[in-house]
Structure 1
Amino acid sequence: MDSSAPQPPADPAPAGPPRPRRRDRHGRGLRGPLAPPQVPLSLSRSELFEDYVRESVERLERRWPQLIDVEFEVTEVPDEDPESPLPDGAGVPLGRVVPAAQGHRSRITVYRRPVEIRAKSREDRAALVHEIMIEQVAELLGLSPDAIDPRYDED
């Protein structure tokens, strides 16, 4: 046979549906989740952040029952609002208060991404979220942050 002659194509893959790939190369079982769903490790960063806000709101509502009528929300980043521009050098806001208007309840917004950038550990993040919530509630109620939570600004 001539070695310069073209070789016939190799047999095509067997017909039928493709088989799912498995990662059980060494007989130790299939890979699964690192933690069960009820463990905080399995929460996403945004879910964990929302838990910080919820815990802070619950603490504040116990002391200030009028906060039940206030909406609390978490947003990724602040929207650029041409009606309320930031003063020069003010930086990125961490939260915002929108007072009640006709047919709308008061709303307090916390911005997740700027807060996460400023606080690296979970404990620092939870403390910063609570501080922001105290400041926003104080602005909404027209009180000082110390009146909202006596432990405000303690290290």
Structure 2
Amino acid sequence: MATPAEHRRRPGTSRRDRRGRGMRGRLVPATVPLSRSRAQIFDDLVLDAVEHLEPRWATQLRDVEFAVEDVPPELPSYDSDVLEDGNVPLARLLPGRDGGRGRSTPPRIVVYRRPLEARAYDRDDLADLVHDVVVEQVANLLGLDPDDVDPPGH
């Protein structure tokens, strides 16, 4: 039988961790939904919320960029286009700007992942919260009431 040192020297043999607990590596294959990170799941929730609104507002949302950031940036004061819970920003609407010479910046809605995750009880609650935040920001962008953007029961 090979000693641990000899076993490590042989090419093509599998490696174990120092305490002999087994192979290192992924516990779940990359193709299984369990392998998705919280950030990837959150990105999907934002996309789901946007896709829910697109059939009705496709023209208005055509040039809008949606982004996800982990935490809001530290700014001295937020403007009125920030959706807050207490003093914690949950999302921010950056209206489009004309940069001159035919260049313009499209409107952008930024959703902050960590503050929303901290307020959710479970994944379903997080999905509802993300949806509400996206609807609120789209309503701000369009100058409409959130119930007009996404009517209850729709």
**TM-score, normalised on structure 2?**
0.75
CA distance in 2, matches of 1:57, 1:98: 16
**The one of 54, 57, 61 aligned to 2:47:** 54
Q: 1:14 to 1:131 in 2, by over 3 A?
A: closer
Q: Give the match for residue 145 of structure 1.
A: 146
Q: What are the residue-to-residue correspondences of 1:104-143 with 2, within 5 Å?
A: 104-143=105-144
Q: Give the match for residue 101 of structure 2.
A: none
CA distance in 2, matches of 1:76, 1:91: 16
Q: Which amino acid aligns with 2:87?
A: G
Q: Which has the higher strand share?
A: 2
- 1:90 shift after superposition: 3.5
Q: Which has the higher helix share?
A: 2
Q: Give the match for residue 41 of structure 1.
A: 34
- 1:120 shift after superposition: 2.8
Aligned length: 135
1:74 counterpart SS class: strand
Provide, for residues 94-145 of structure 1, a one-character-per-residue CA deviation record: whole Å limited to 9, x for no partner.
1010111011000000000000000031101111000000000000000000
Q: Which runs of 5+ in 2 are unaligned?
A: 99-103
- 1:40 shift after superposition: 1.8
1:84 counterpart SS class: coil
CA distance in 2, matches of 1:39, 1:57: 24
Q: Give the match for residue 7 of structure 1.
A: none
- 1:39 shift after superposition: 2.4
Provide, for residues 20-77 of structure 1, a one-character-per-residue CA deviation record: whole Å limited to 9, x for no partner.
6336x79xx9576433323221100000000000111111111101212100000011
Q: Give the match for residue 96 of structure 1.
A: 92
CA distance in 2, matches of 1:95, 1:149: 18
CA distance in 2, matches of 1:39, 1:96: 33
CA distance in 2, matches of 1:97, 1:91: 16
- 1:151 shift after superposition: 1.9
C-alpha RMSD of the superposition: 3.1
CA distance in 1, matches of 2:119, 2:78: 23
